[in-house]
Amino acid sequence: MEKITIELLAQKLNLSKSTISRAFRDSFDINPKTKQRILEAAKELDFEPNPIAKSLREKKTQRIGVIIPSFTIPFYAQAICGIQEIASKEGYSLLICQSDESYEAEMQNVKSLLNSRVDGIIMSLTTETTQYKHILQLHKKDIPVVLFNRVIDIPNTSKVLVDDYDSSYKMTEYLISRGYKNIIYIAGPKNLMLASTRLKGFRNAMYVGKIELSEDSIFYGDFSIESGFKCAEEILRKVKPDAIFCSCDNVAFGVIKYLKKRGVSVPGDIAVAGYTDEPFAALIDPALTTIRQPIHEIGETAAQLLIKKLKYPYSKPEVKVLPTELIIREST
């Protein structure tokens, strides 16, 4: 099969390459009739300009790199859907990498995306990430970056967050209103902004609710089911709570799993609340009380922010905070 190019099309239509090229861009510098003639011929021959050649010439790839901790965390699967939707609408394709919760891998990913010449990067950090040389390096190379969800405080960088303080506060307030007094909080990794913000929301709600809070009531985990399982074990060994507020659904799943194993009734003996509203939160028994984040929208927003920056390189970095919703189910 003869490979068809702009040059060939030009010959067939007795025009020059440049004119053909113009027809395929938003150039108004072309006779509408000629343009139409070209577009029709192209459709007939099933021709589309070679994006590789275009990339080489323009030094733009129309490709966005995405770095997430893992595909298999449903939150990220959904977020990617949101990113994808906006990206493909705007003519960008996605190059997705997993950091697998390793800072090392995260840096490696940045490098490989850079080598793949992506136009910009959207990322959610690992639980290990505390430094941000790799992000600054991107700034220096003029590759726009948008951080979402798992974010650390890097100056001059766009971010998409949810209102973690508020939602954590709301949940705590709700738990208190249900009469729970001995509330344990399982916090996330200390390096992440979301973890400290959520913890702050919890603390303040306890303070306002006039419930004394000992530091022994705060445990730390990461975002895994196993971590929840282990925390629950530790909690039962040390204290006798009537409620456990986990700063992540997965952790809540792990906690419930352990409590069930030990024959502790949820919410009869101990209430459990989560954060994220993963798809399975509603399915599990008892259905999990949690905070719903607009996951899809988070992805969309991140993509929008990045593309905006790509189109207008001099626009200022933005921080978007999206609202959350308290979802009350059976576990509390």
Partner DNA sequence: CTGTTAGCGCTTTCAG
Partner DNA sequence: CTGAAAGCGCTAACAG
Contact between 49 and DNA per CB under 7 A:
yes
CA atoms of 84 and 79, how far apart (whole Å): 9
For its own copies, the closer of residues 259 and 291 by Cβ is 259
Structure tokens at 6: 């702009």
The partner in contact with residue 30, picked from DNA, its own copies, none with C-beta cut-offs of 5 to 8 angstroms by kind, is DNA
Q: Of 2, 14, 32, 115, which one interacts with its own copies (CB under 8 A)? A: 115
Contact between 28 and DNA per CB under 7 A:
yes
Amino acid (one-letter) located at 326: L
Contact between 6 and DNA per CB under 7 A:
yes
Burial label for 178, CB within 10 Å (0-12, 13-18, 19+), is middle
The partner in contact with residue 16, picked from its own copies, DNA, none with C-beta cut-offs of 5 to 8 angstroms by kind, is DNA
Please tell me what DSSP assigns to residue 217: G
153: how many CB neighbours lie within 10 A of its CB? 10
Contact between 140 and its own copies per CB under 8 A:
yes
Closest distance to DNA from the beta carbon of 289 (Å): 53
Contact between 24 and DNA per CB under 7 A:
yes
The partner in contact with residue 77, picked from its own copies, DNA, none with C-beta cut-offs of 5 to 8 angstroms by kind, is its own copies
Sites for its own copies among residues 170-209 (CB under 8 A): none
182: how many CB neighbours lie within 10 A of its CB? 13
Q: Of 9, 19, 69, 98, which one interacts with its own copies (CB under 8 A)? A: 98
CA atoms of 180 and 182, how far apart (whole Å): 6
CA atoms of 158 and 204, how far apart (whole Å): 27
Contact between 279 and its own copies per CB under 8 A:
yes
CB 20 within 8 A of CB 37: no
Contact between 63 and DNA per CB under 7 A:
no
Structure tokens at 203: 């603390």
For DNA, the closer of residues 57 and 140 by Cβ is 57
Burial label for 49, CB within 10 Å (0-12, 13-18, 19+), is middle
Structure tokens at 207: 């303070």
Closest distance to DNA from the beta carbon of 87 (Å): 19
- Cis ω on the peptide bond leading into residue 267 (within 30° of 0)? yes
Q: How far is CA 196 from CA 152, 164, 231, in A?
A: 11, 9, 18
Q: Which residues bind DNA (CB under 7 A)?
A: 3, 5-7, 14-19, 21-22, 24-25, 28-32, 34-35, 49-50, 53-54, 56-59
Q: Which residues bind its own copies (CB under 8 A)?
A: 1, 48, 50-53, 55-56, 61, 70-72, 74, 77-78, 80-81, 84, 88, 93-96, 98, 112, 115-117, 140-141, 225, 253, 257, 260, 279-280, 283-285
